[in-house]
Amino acid sequence: MLKSFKVAYFMASTDDVATNTKFAAETGADFPILADPDKKVAGDYGVLGMMGFASRWTFYIDKDGKIAYIDKDVSVVKAGADTAARLTALGVEKR
């Protein structure tokens, strides 16, 4: 059975606020971007690689704050379609 609830999304980046603000303006981003220049959040989520760069993973967190799924194979080209498919697989109803 599909569950009906809102989906909230944001991006986390190890760039600083100024760099993220510029990126948002250039791309027309309509979502919040978390600036994590000290890489603490990236480290806490286990996405920080040996060279200090964050992996491009998508975390699906349920309404109770628990991680429902982690996509560790994110394709920039297919991210939108993959996200929609994963939300459907997790039982999120389309509106």
Between the two ends of the chain, the Cα-to-Cα distance in Å is: 15
Percent of the chain with pLDDT over 70: 93
| Burial of 63 from C-beta contacts in 10 A (0-12 / 13-18 / 19+) | exposed
pLDDT tens-place string over residues 2-23: 555 677 888 999 999 999 999 9
| Domains of the chain and CATH, by start | 11-89 (3.40.30.10)
Length of the chain: 95
pLDDT of residue 1: 53
pLDDT of residue 3: 57
> If pLDDT is split at 50, 70 and 90, which confidence band does 92 have?
confident
Phi/psi zone of residue 82: left (φ > 0), alpha (ψ -120 to 50 degrees), beta? alpha
pLDDT tens-place string over residues 52-75: 899 999 999 988 889 999 999 999
